[in-house]
Amino acid sequence: MTFYSSIMKTIDEQGYHFEEWLQPAQIAKDVAQVAERISADYADKEPLFVVVLNGAFVFAADLLRALKDVRCEVTFIRVSSYWGMSTTGQLEFIVPLQQVVDNRDVVIIEDIVDTGLTIHQLKAHLRARGASTIRVAAMLFKPGKLEYNDAKPDYVGHELTDEFVIGYGLDFDGFLRNLPSVYKVKES
Ligand code: IMP
């Protein structure tokens, strides 16, 4: 039986063992420093935040509420490129962009940048629709796995190597997104 709760230091899911890596207090610090930088950079602009569902909903909720004096709009897009622990290489727009982005300063909010394929394709999508500037805020970034240079996030909460992580919005086959900490998979 899968067993997990918000106070668990370890999680066992589908034969994989996960250990707590970022606790809520650390996540709050990471979010605060990203919010501070975005607030400074967009103080005199009216950015449009594009939240990449599903994974970024937790980070986005915290980040957007931590911004100081930024008049902004928020919209959502849902894409899928991952099943289980490996990428498919194909980005599917499940909920397409509904907002006009022409001449807008766009900030993409993403949970994690891994190969960068998602951001690479999303940026092309937004550019083709006339966005004037596009930046990326990612809670997590795996620099060692980046395959698309233009996908390097401008604002990063925390970097990691190439481990698979779950929690704080990140899922494993759809589950575990609701965990308040981030957990790393461990070889057992
Ligand atoms: P990329 O397109 O390879 O950069 O992957 C981005 C997407 O893959 C993210 O938005 C996540 O949904 C998913 N992803 C990448 N790494 C992880 C991980 O370690 N845990 C959970 N999901 C991940």
Residue 65 lies in a domain: yes
Pocket test for ligand 1, best of 161, 170, 186 (most atoms within 8 A of CB): 170
pLDDT number for residue 5: 52
Q: What is the pLDDT of residues 31-56, one digit of tens each?
A: 999 999 999 999 999 999 999 999 99
Is residue 5 one of the residues assigned to a domain?
Answer: no
Ligand 1 neighbour 117 (Cβ under 6 A): yes
> CATH number of the domain that 69 lies in?
3.40.50.2020
Residue 31 lies in a domain: yes
Residue 159: give the domain boundaries: 26-181
Average pLDDT, integer, range 89-99: 80
| pTM over the 0.85 mark | yes
Mutational test site, ligand 1, from 57, 88, 114, 147, max ligand atoms within 8 Å of CB: 114
Structural domains in the chain (count) = 1
Q: Using an 8 Å Cβ cutoff, are 184 and 164 in contact?
A: yes
According to the model, what pLDDT value does residue 86 have?
55
Domain presence at residue 188:
no
- pLDDT tier, 7 (very low <50, low <70, confident <90, very high otherwise): low
For residue 82, the model assigns a pLDDT of: 56
What pLDDT, on the 0 to 100 scale, is given for residue 90? 63
CB 108 within 8 A of CB 134: yes
**CA 92 / ligand 1 centre spacing (Å):** 14
114 is catalytic: yes
- The set of long-range contacts for 24-28, using a CB threshold of 8 Å and a minimum separation of 24, is 24/180, 24/181, 26/158, 27/62, 27/139, 27/157, 27/168, 27/180, 27/181, 27/182, 28/62
Which atom of ligand 1 sits closest to the CA of residue 170?
21
Domain assignment present for 38:
yes
Output the pLDDT for position 56. Answer: 98
Report yes or no on 144 lying in a domain.
yes
Any domain includes 54: yes
pLDDT at position 18 over 60: yes
- Going from the Cα of 161 to the center of ligand 1, the distance in angstroms, rounded, reads 13
Please indicate, yes or no, if residue 7 is contained in any of the structural domains: no
Instruction: Report whether pLDDT(89) > 70.
Output: no
In tens, the pLDDT along 172-187 reads 999 999 999 999 999 7
Whether 105 is in the pocket of ligand 1, judged by its Cβ within 6 Å, is no
pLDDT of amino acid 75: 97
Share the mean pLDDT of the chain. 91
